[in-house]
Structure 1
Amino acid sequence: MNLPIQQIAKPLPSAFIEGLEQIFAERAILALPARKHHGASESHYPNLPPDAVVFPFSTEEVIELVKLCNRLDVPLIPYGAGTCMEGQTTALFGGVCVDMSRMDKVIAVNHEDFDCVVQAGVRREQLNDHLRDKGLFFPVDPGANATIGGMASTRASGTNAVRYGTMREAILSLRVVTPDGRDIRTARRARKSAAGYDLTHLFIGAEGTLGIITEIALRLHPIPEAISAATCGFGTLEGAVATVVQAIQVGVPLARVELLDEVQMRAVNLRSKLAEAELPTLFFEFHGSISGVQEQITLVEELAMANGGHAFRWALRPEERSKLWRARHEAYYAAVNLRSGCVGWTTDVCVPISRLAECILETKADLRASTLPAPIVGHVGDGNFHVIFVLDPNSETERAEAERLNANIIERALSMEGTCTGEHGIGIGKQEWLVKELGETVELMKVLKTSLDPKNLFNPGKIFQ
């Protein structure tokens, strides 16, 4: 799309290229196709490729690279799976992309303590495949098969957050390479500590601007005895949202509850070959003991019926549940496929649960008055929802309309004491909204950034200029 984002870069020094080749040999890539691949993401921002791409195998190689970049003033952009939504991997100032995908070892699994240690390039699905035979799982599920390092850097959450929390709650400690080349560990494996500053949570959500995460210690959970999933269509969007809010208020420990409006359901049916009614629909999943799950189901069904819900459609077998949640995870691609040749722009507000119905219904009224296709999908159990604008990339009119609607959505969320981003982060696109949300607090963030990265080499131009 023709957005006002331009790359400001200078050629890499020959001494830097020689240094890369000494450290990484054939794992230092200068070819344009590889660079363009690493300049792209799932966001709607233009592809601004780095000047080089490297694939470290170890923390020690990352340290060598950081020291080389420091010596020759070359920016670094950490890269996981490229699934970010706010342009966090875009090379605004050129430099070198540090692709962590080959640091993909599960270092340790501590069964008795329900935790593990992984390298940053381990993928979410890879980790759960590794844990399955041990009766454990890692619950944070943003939909994409993201790397754990990328999920930590953007403070990711997803469909399980309503019960199991986000990356903020899932991480015990980090191993980080700082901008001056130090190798630090932010904490030990203990479940709690009052030892000094909480540096673990300083780096979670920092989007690679304060350090490069190379290892992560994670909390794990036992695989539930019973798992049941279902969908339920509603006559009104208001009824669907009210069911979620009431279920949470009466203490039902929902594992997952996702909302798809009627536009999104049409898109999902087309892409994933489902046969769901094209109505505002909730996707539920219940975890626990057999009796506990049945109690949850009984109560939620009563709430749904009282709010205009239809009969639950069950997915009981593992393959049925997988098909259902795969359809939910591919909702973005389903939405974009509603219009041939178009791109998606996903919003990401989150509000207190008591204001959720009001926020979604006012947003839906905005969308009905617009000609722009814009499905709603959301992790409504924790107050987070998304509007996916489906845009013609060559239409300035449509881009302007999306910007107007997005501004309305964020203003509305902020007026309800919510946030401009529930899980995607700030990146390029939400910097002004961050200031509006937190005010002078952003100045303190800049002080921290300058203190740790005085040369502004770590993912420059992200979160704030």
Structure 2
Amino acid sequence: MNAPADLARLHPAVAPRPVPESLLAALRERFGAQCSTAMAVREQHGRDESPFDVPPPAAVVFAESTRDVADAVKLASDADVPVIPFGVGSSLEGHLLAVQGGISIDLSRMKQVLAVNAEDLTVTVQPGVTRRQLNEELRSIGLFFPIDPGADASIGGMTATRASGTNAVRYGTMRENVLALEVVTASGETIRTGTRARKSSAGYDLTRLIVGSEGTLGIATEITLRIYPLPEAVSAAICSFPSIEAAVRTTIQVIQLGVPIARVELIDVNSVRMVNAHSRLNLREQPMLLMEFHGSPAGVQEQAETVQAIASEMGGNDFEWATTPEERTRLWTARHNAYFAAVQSRPGCRAVTTDTCVPISRLADCLLASVDEVDASGIPYFLVGHVGDGNFHFGYLIDPHDPDERLRAEQLSHNLVSRAIAMGGTCTGEHGIGLHKMGFLIDEAGEGAVAMMRTLKKALDPKNILNPGKIFSL
């Protein structure tokens, strides 16, 4: 993709399609108080955590069942009006924005855990269930769902973006952990994909087609997930390093040695300072790795000793260990609060975020070159990363009213993505394409592959009403 030349290409093309009054009347008749056209409600559903500002949807439908979703989509389809699924609004890439107008379907009231099959290690939930809610319900029977993107995202949103997070190095992403779906299609039909069986060779893999499709091919209304036994033993540690390079080289050695570490997260010195101020902590202000080990007591001890020895060779110091849930929560506060601590460190700012992922062998090269470039730019930033699987995030903190800052941040993002793709990596490890990375998708996948994606979209959504204007343009 060509480097940003001006701000015009950084803003989504907003061309609202008409929403006839007859559709709004039909929605009010069908949904009553579950349908709102109040500006405050519309604005809440017309903004996410991305740096884009787009007019809000024309109405919001608060779905409480699969039938509600199907009926709303059918009414919208009859009127050729877009529909945008909404979870908790934590998207970073503009997924929720009504760039072609339309209505928002809020799934947050669909928050039932429908079935727990402990013997098979599966659970079926509605899309509005959040990861914390799910784990609260599973904890009492000794099970958990490991995908942890940081924010308390909804399972529906995590499915739509193919989320991963801090545990992905051991447990994989939503791609590996979604077994089956109930989906409302663009015509308002309800279909099912997949089964609770751990594998299948029956036809096209529609489940994985929907997972990561960002609401552009269907709206998931039931999701069946893999779940796991709570580990017999869990130990967490933080370790400070004299440089980012030392922390990254430690991570590479740990992964290449095959240590089955559950989590290994990087926090740069900027993030540590911000979290200390935000959460009133006193962490050592150096680059830091946060690590967690799962398994038997003996296995956890062996993993921890191996990692500590590697880290010590790289200059790692001040190991702090935590074995109780309360101690682990305190240590992980630094990682989970990093984004919000960063945004609050510069009042009024917006974050232009990245989430590139590269092969682990190229992690140091890509990350260190990117650090040098942003340090030279003068743009305030923070850096965190799920470095165990080669995924890391810069957040460039910009004044949204300063076009020069926005342009410089986008140039940094462009250079980083180009660097990652050249190293065999991807423009997005977990946030998805949304609006922000549409040009990068062409760079990564190629025109032919994107053309095939467009063909699928047109076949499954011929009226282009399902979250239009995302991933690619039609």
Q: List per-residue Cα deviations over 1:317-358 (Å, max 9, x = no partner).
A: 211211222321110111122222212111110000010011
Asked if the contact 1:156–1:424 (Cα under 8 Å) also holds between the matched residues in 2, the reply is yes
- Whole-angstrom distance in 2 between the partners of 1:306 and 1:60: 59
Is 1:63 matched up with 2:42?
A: no
Residue aligning to 1:205 = 212
Is 1:413 matched up with 2:420?
A: yes
- Whole-angstrom distance in 1 between the partners of 2:440 and 2:134: 34
Q: List per-residue Cα deviations over 1:203-246 (Å, max 9, x = no partner).
A: 00000000011000000000111111111000111110011111
Question: Mean Cα displacement is larger for which, 108-117 or 65-74?
Answer: 65-74
Q: Which amino acid letter does the alignment assign opposite residue 294 of structure 1?
A: Q
Residue aligning to 2:378 = 371
Residue aligning to 2:265 = 258
- Whole-angstrom distance in 2 between the partners of 1:457 and 1:332: 32
Residue aligning to 1:117 = 124
The offset of 1:376, in angstroms, is 1.1
Partner secondary structure for residue 108 of structure 1 = strand
Query: Equivalent residues in 2 for 1:358-437 (5 A)?
Result: 358-437=365-444
Specify which of 452, 455, 464 is matched with residue 447 of structure 1: 455
Over the aligned positions, Cα root-mean-square deviation in angstroms equals 1.2
Asked if the contact 1:265–1:278 (Cα under 8 Å) also holds between the matched residues in 2, the reply is yes
- Whole-angstrom distance in 2 between the partners of 1:143 and 1:320: 18
Asked if the contact 1:174–1:187 (Cα under 8 Å) also holds between the matched residues in 2, the reply is yes
Specify which of 91, 99, 107 is matched with residue 100 of structure 1: 107
Q: What stretches of structure 2 of length at least 5 have no aligned partner?
A: 1-6
Asked if the contact 2:272–2:334 (Cα under 8 Å) also holds between the matched residues in 1, the reply is no
The offset of 1:397, in angstroms, is 1.2
Is 1:317 matched up with 2:309?
A: no
- Whole-angstrom distance in 2 between the partners of 1:294 and 1:418: 33
Residue aligning to 1:12 = 19
Asked if the contact 2:381–2:397 (Cα under 8 Å) also holds between the matched residues in 1, the reply is yes
Query: Equivalent residues in 2 for 1:184-223 (5 A)?
Result: 184-223=191-230
Aligned residues: 465
Partner secondary structure for residue 425 of structure 1 = coil
Is 1:458 matched up with 2:466?
A: yes
Residue aligning to 1:142 = 149
- Whole-angstrom distance in 1 between the partners of 2:19 and 2:330: 47
Q: Which amino acid letter does the alignment assign opposite residue 182 of structure 1?
A: E
TM-score (norm 2): 0.96
- Whole-angstrom distance in 1 between the partners of 2:13 and 2:452: 27
- Whole-angstrom distance in 2 between the partners of 1:367 and 1:10: 39
- Whole-angstrom distance in 1 between the partners of 2:11 and 2:291: 40
Residue aligning to 1:303 = 310
The offset of 1:160, in angstroms, is 0.5
Residue aligning to 2:55 = 48
The offset of 1:10, in angstroms, is 4.3
Residue aligning to 1:277 = 284
The offset of 1:175, in angstroms, is 0.6
TM-score (norm 1): 0.98
Q: Which amino acid letter does the alignment assign opposite residue 344 of structure 1?
A: A
Q: Which amino acid letter does the alignment assign opposite residue 308 of structure 2?
A: E
Q: Which amino acid letter does the alignment assign opposite residue 241 of structure 2?
A: F
Q: Which amino acid letter does the alignment assign opposite residue 113 of structure 1?
A: D
Q: List per-residue Cα deviations over 1:378-419 (Å, max 9, x = no partner).
A: 000000000010111111111111011111100100010100
The offset of 1:174, in angstroms, is 0.6
Displaced runs of 4+ in structure 1, greater than 4 A? Answer: none
Asked if the contact 2:85–2:215 (Cα under 8 Å) also holds between the matched residues in 1, the reply is yes
Residue aligning to 2:44 = 37
The offset of 1:22, in angstroms, is 2.3
Partner secondary structure for residue 181 of structure 1 = coil
Residue aligning to 2:185 = 178
Residue aligning to 1:332 = 339
Asked if the contact 1:36–1:47 (Cα under 8 Å) also holds between the matched residues in 2, the reply is no
Partner secondary structure for residue 265 of structure 1 = helix
Q: Which amino acid letter does the alignment assign opposite residue 178 of structure 1?
A: T
Q: Which amino acid letter does the alignment assign opposite residue 461 of structure 2?
A: D
Residue aligning to 2:297 = 290
Q: Which amino acid letter does the alignment assign opposite residue 457 of structure 2?
A: K
Residue aligning to 2:3 = none
The offset of 1:290, in angstroms, is 0.7
Asked if the contact 1:137–1:222 (Cα under 8 Å) also holds between the matched residues in 2, the reply is yes
Q: List per-residue Cα deviations over 1:108-134 (Å, max 9, x = no partner).
A: 000100100001111110000010101
- Whole-angstrom distance in 1 between the partners of 2:277 and 2:322: 19
Partner secondary structure for residue 445 of structure 1 = helix
Q: List per-residue Cα deviations over 1:34-54 (Å, max 9, x = no partner).
A: 000001111111143100000
Q: List per-residue Cα deviations over 1:129-169 (Å, max 9, x = no partner).
A: 01010100000000111110110000000001011110001
- Whole-angstrom distance in 1 between the partners of 2:406 and 2:63: 38
Partner secondary structure for residue 377 of structure 2 = coil
Partner secondary structure for residue 400 of structure 1 = helix
Q: How high is the sequence identity, in percent, across the aligned residues? A: 54
Q: Which amino acid letter does the alignment assign opposite residue 461 of structure 1?
A: G
Residue aligning to 1:248 = 255
- Whole-angstrom distance in 1 between the partners of 2:11 and 2:255: 42
- Whole-angstrom distance in 1 between the partners of 2:281 and 2:54: 34
- Whole-angstrom distance in 2 between the partners of 1:398 and 1:287: 43
